Amino acid sequence: MNAPEFRNGGSSSRKLKLVWMQSGGCGGCTLSLLGAEGPDLITSFAAAGIEVLWHPSLSELSGRDASNLLSRLRSGQEPFDIFCLEGSVMRGPGGTGRFHLMSGSDEPVMAWIEAIARRARYVVAVGSCAAYGGITAAGDNHVEACGLAYDGKQAGGLLGGDFRSGSGLPVINIAGCPIHPAWLIEALHLIGSGRFGPSDLDEWERPLAYTTHLVHHGCSRNEFYEFKASAEKLCDRGCMMENLGCKGTQARADCNIRAWNGSGSCIEGGYPCINCTAPGFEEPGHTFTITPKISGIPIGLPTDMPKAWFVALAALSKAATPSRLRDNATAEQLKAPPSNRPKKQS
């Protein structure tokens, strides 16, 4: 892929060279990225002044040619700027990495990932698997999956919690399962302009561009939430927080503000938010579609809200719930639309 010349952070005009590797994962982040709109992915890369040296799904280079390129990147013969990893690092068995060997070699992929990452000016974990281990690390994790700089919620991972790339930044975690295309594209544009720094990252090294929001913001079910008119099964129209495990009031992302594929989000598709941008989301300790409760009170309450306040407000809200919302909350289709008061007869 070729890109126009651009000025990177005030230095001489040149392109940023990007290398993308995939490890233990499903490739869903790449699939999501291909759905980028306004502009499309190729135009977005060009606008950021990025040249993709290699991507396993997008590049023509394959086989021995691709292996030779990766070897040059690893040795430092081929300079580049940005290293992106999609999928978790597979360290098993026993830390040897031999569950996942590089095709055409007898070396574990994790050794290639580490060597290439340490040559990069910027290291980007694309998706929650690359960031924290994600779905691949769920369960007993026999493959010993981890992220680049985290193993679940613990700093470390493959590169170590103290890792800093050539730019002085830690691993940039574009967390999500999968990511929204714009989350990565925005980060790459900031990198390309030389304006991405530590202050652009939150406490989990995720870009603040999308984690200053909650999934709850912009949710089309917010009126049901306000009156605690709750859905009882997945096909119902009401709020899914009370009974169906929705974590939209806790999850840090802008999924309901920035539409996916032109329109929609998990909640718009009728499924509760599972907080997939957070480390450890894959092990909630309960079924994703069930809200654990103690004495009838949901365990997972809205971020920054004291429990006593929530209980008091919930009781008041339920007492004031309009019959329209109460009827619609447990219905698959709209039963009662909003209506005005009857007109006065003259």
What tokens does 267 get?
């909640």
Which of 184, 211, 238 is where one domain is finished? 211
What tokens does 207 get?
């870009």
DSSP 273-298: ---TTSTTTT--SS-TT---EETTEE
Tell whether 336 is covered by a domain: no
Rounded CA separation 206/317 (Å) = 34
- Residue 38, pLDDT score: 81
User: Does pTM top 0.85 for this prediction?
Assistant: yes
Which of 160, 185, 211 is where one domain is finished? 211
Tell whether 261 is covered by a domain: yes
State whether residue 74 is helix, strand or coil.
Answer: helix
Give me the half-sphere count of Cα atoms (radius 13 Å) on the Cβ side of residue 126: 32
Tell whether 67 is covered by a domain: yes
Range of the domain at 169: 16-211
- Residue 14, pLDDT score: 80
Report yes or no: 209 and 235 within 8 Å, Cβ to Cβ: no
Is the domain of 37 the same as that of 140?
A: yes
- Residue 8, pLDDT score: 43
Tell whether 345 is covered by a domain: no
Rounded CA separation 326/49 (Å) = 52
Tell whether 282 is covered by a domain: yes
- Within 10 angstroms of residue 118's Cβ, the number of other Cβ atoms is 15
Rounded CA separation 113/126 (Å) = 13
CATH number at residue 126: 3.40.50.700
Is the domain of 96 the same as that of 133?
A: yes
Is the domain of 58 the same as that of 130?
A: yes
- Residue 312, pLDDT score: 77
Which of 211, 244, 273 is where one domain is finished? 211
Rounded CA separation 129/26 (Å) = 10
Q: What sign does the CA torsion over 133, 134, 140, 141 have?
A: negative
Is the domain of 68 the same as that of 199?
A: yes
Taking the chain (346 residues) in consecutive chunks of 10 residues, what is each chunk's mean pLDDT?
A: 39 81 96 91 93 94 93 97 98 96 93 98 98 96 97 97 97 97 96 95 97 95 92 96 94 93 88 97 94 81 71 78 89 87 72
From 122, 148, 121, select the one nearest 24 (Cα to Cα): 148
Tell whether 337 is covered by a domain: no
Where are the alpha helices (H) located in the chain, listed in sequence order?
28-33, 41-47, 63-75, 109-117, 128-132, 181-192, 208-211, 222-226, 241-244, 307-319, 323-329
Tell whether 236 is covered by a domain: yes
Is the domain of 265 the same as that of 325?
A: yes
Is the domain of 144 the same as that of 55?
A: yes
CATH number at residue 226: 4.10.480.10
Is the domain of 206 the same as that of 226?
A: no
Is the domain of 113 the same as that of 44?
A: yes
- Residue 13, pLDDT score: 65
Rounded CA separation 15/160 (Å) = 29
